[in-house]
């Protein structure tokens, strides 16, 4: 089983890349992103009451679990498109996991306070806009961590990064990424409104060379409100 909770196929190359990523990159990524997202929640969302959170495209659920460790007032349900591997089905960890079809989020309106998409939307293809729109109905707040491209070079680097981080796990590699402009268009089409957009997340603070290639500004986090929620708070 891999970091996305999926069983990798038997290709030696894929297994090697997935193994390297799981050992050398994923643990640090999980800690940095979880801390960043938890701080973002704390700063921008009222946290006096318990917050019901849904992690869409949760992978191995480590991000949700780390955030819950930092913010104990958050409870997490996690959904993704893979089956729980047979040998994990009885493990407590997977109680919070639900498999869905990657298209229709299986929850009622206002079932959650927050929906999180962490490095998911650029893999979702044609389902992306619909997933965003549904998220705005299901929760008051939608949190997105994703990538931004600026040129052919940043797209090339991001694709290389995605091949390293996802191809080995059988996750499709996108042809392009959001630009600030296309992200804002997607938000408008999904009837969401932007509360905060933060561009620049430092994933490799102790690796100066990597930091020059994989620039912090290739990562962003955004907090959005569902349309109904925006009207209610006008």
Ligand X SMILES: C[S@@+](CC[C@H](N)C(=O)[O-])C[C@H]1O[C@@H](n2cnc3c(N)ncnc32)[C@H](O)[C@@H]1O
Alpha helices, H only, 71-143: 128-138
Instruction: Say whether residue 168 binds ligand X (CB under 6 A).
Output: no
Instruction: Say whether residue 113 binds ligand X (CB under 6 A).
Output: no
Instruction: Say whether residue 166 binds ligand X (CB under 6 A).
Output: yes
Strand boundaries in 22-138, DSSP class E: 51-56, 74-80, 97-99, 112-118
Residue number, nearest CB to ligand X: 59
Compute how many residues bind ligand X; rule: CB under 6 A. 17
Among 56, 115, 137, 143, binds ligand X (CB under 6 A): 56
Side-chain-side CA neighbours of 206 within 13 Å: the count stands at: 4
Q: Which residues of 61-95 are buried (b: 16+ CB within 10 A; e: fewer)?
A: bbbbbbbbeebeebebbbbbbbebeeeeeeeeeee
Q: Cα angle at 214 between 211 and 216, to 5 degrees?
A: 75
For ligand X, what does the binding mask look like between residues 174 and 213, x meaning CB under 6 A?
----------------------------------------
Among 111, 127, 161, 201, binds ligand X (CB under 6 A): 127
Among 113, 119, 146, 149, binds ligand X (CB under 6 A): 119
The distance of closest approach from Cβ of residue 48 to ligand X in the complex, given in angstroms and rounded to an integer, is 27
Among 41, 59, 187, 221, binds ligand X (CB under 6 A): 59
Question: In whole angstroms, how far apart are CA 114 and each of 13, 158, 168?
Answer: 37, 27, 30
Binding site for ligand X (CB under 6 A): 4, 56-59, 63, 80-81, 102, 118-120, 123-124, 127, 166, 171
């Amino acid at each position: 089983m891999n970091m996305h909770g999926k069983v990798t196929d038997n290709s030696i190359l894929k297994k090697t890349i997935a193994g390297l990523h799981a050992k050398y990159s994923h643990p640090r990524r999980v800690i940095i992103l979880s801390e960043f997202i938890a701080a973002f929640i704390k700063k921008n969302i009222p946290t006096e009451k318990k917050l019901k959170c849904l992690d869409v495209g949760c992978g191995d659920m480590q991000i949700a679990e780390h955030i819950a460790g930092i913010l104990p007032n958050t409870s997490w349900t996690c959904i993704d498109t893979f089956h729980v591997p047979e040998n994990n089905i009885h493990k407590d960890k997977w109680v919070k996991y639900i498999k869905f079809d990657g298209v229709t989020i299986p929850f009622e309106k206002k079932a959650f306070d927050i929906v999180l998409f962490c490095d998911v939307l650029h893999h979702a293809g044609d389902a992306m806009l619909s997933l965003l729109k549904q998220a705005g109905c299901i929760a008051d707040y939608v949190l997105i961590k994703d990538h931004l491209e600026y040129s052919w070079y940043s797209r090339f680097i991001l694709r290389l990064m995605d091949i390293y981080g996802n191809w080995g796990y059988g996750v499709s590699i996108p042809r392009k990424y959001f630009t600030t402009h296309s992200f804002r268009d997607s938000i408008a089409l999904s009837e969401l409104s932007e509360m905060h957009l933060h561009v620049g997340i430092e994933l490799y603070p102790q690796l100066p060379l990597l930091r020059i290639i994989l620039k912090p500004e290739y990562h962003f986090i955004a907090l959005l409100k569902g349309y109904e929620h925006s009207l209610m708070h006008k």
